[in-house]
Amino acid sequence: MTVYPLPAADLKGEGMTSQRARDRLVAILREGGIRDPRVIEVIRNLPRHHFIDQALHSRAYENDALPIGHGQTISQPWVVARMTEALIEFGIPQKVLEIGTGSGYQAAVLAALVPQVFTVERIEALLRQARRRFRQLGLTNLRSRYDDGKLGWADEAPFDAIILTAAGDTIPTRILDQLGPTGVLVAPVGSPSRQTLIRMRGDGQGDFIQEELGAVSFVPLLGGIG
């Protein structure tokens, strides 16, 4: 397991962002069924308050999605943990593509566990903020790109795993084509009123095994750049 580097002293937090607050969040995640000790450890150590505006720091370790501007949110910690668990359950992938960088929190969680993370964001202002956070945390195994997420990152394909942090009615074919033959894809699928978290696993023969992992709520998967 990759050991997540301890954040700099000014990122450790006090009061509502202290280690005690993070430990309370971990207890909530365990009660909610999160079991993978690798995921638990990363969530415990990663400073989530670093990925949101200072005005919301007191809520950073609540198990809630929070606004990050531009109509986007940082996902609920339980959802981040569940998606990460689902992605690594059958082994640590060497190379992961994330569609929808957002705040950068999900990408940072993955970068603590996976040798290479590639993340694409369509909103330039969000990506600039995320890149600054990645630099401050010293995440050198993470590459980011400003582009239409529906296009994926074809130049770096194939990927051992792909994760989408926004929901469409279906998985875009161009993204699915970038998954390796035995790769794993985790994504929310459905309409704004009804979404399901799914996992697709390649069988090595060109087909996929699909599982439903439960109901979720994500922002819509949009094309283009903004």
Backbone angles phi, psi at 50, to 5 degrees: -70, -15
Asked, for residue 82, whether it belongs to a domain, the answer is: yes
Which residues, including other chains, have CB under 8 Å from residue 179's CB and lie 6 or more apart? 158, 159, 161, 162, 185, 200, 202
Asked, for residue 127, whether it belongs to a domain, the answer is: yes
Quick check: is 75 catalytic?
A: yes
Asked, for residue 22, whether it belongs to a domain, the answer is: no
pLDDT at position 8, please? 43
Catalytic-role residue among 75, 103, 144, 193: 75
pLDDT at position 14, please? 58
Residue 192: Cβ within 10 Å count: 10
Asked, for residue 3, whether it belongs to a domain, the answer is: no
Asked, for residue 90, whether it belongs to a domain, the answer is: yes
pLDDT tens digit string along 100-138? 999 999 999 999 999 999 999 999 999 999 999 999 999
Specify the pTM: 0.92
Contacts 24+ apart (CB under 8 A), 211-219: 213/82, 213/86, 213/186, 214/82, 216/79, 216/167, 216/188, 217/65, 217/188, 218/75, 218/165, 218/166, 218/167, 218/188, 219/71, 219/72, 219/73, 219/166, 219/167
Q: Domain span at residue 119?
A: 64-216
pLDDT tens digit string along 169-218? 999 999 999 999 999 999 999 998 899 999 999 998 888 999 999 999 99
Asked, for residue 44, whether it belongs to a domain, the answer is: no
Chain-centroid distance of CA 24 in Å reads 21
pLDDT at position 11, please? 54
Asked, for residue 28, whether it belongs to a domain, the answer is: no
pLDDT at position 13, please? 58
Spatial separation of the C-alpha atoms in residues 219 and 199, rounded to whole Å: 18
Number of compact structural domains in the chain: 1
Spatial separation of the C-alpha atoms in residues 95 and 119, rounded to whole Å: 11
CA distances from 220 to 114, 164, 217 (A): 26, 11, 9
Asked, for residue 106, whether it belongs to a domain, the answer is: yes
Spatial separation of the C-alpha atoms in residues 209 and 95, rounded to whole Å: 20
Here the CATH number for the domain that contains residue 196 is 3.40.50.150
The token pair that represents 25 in the structure block: 């969040």
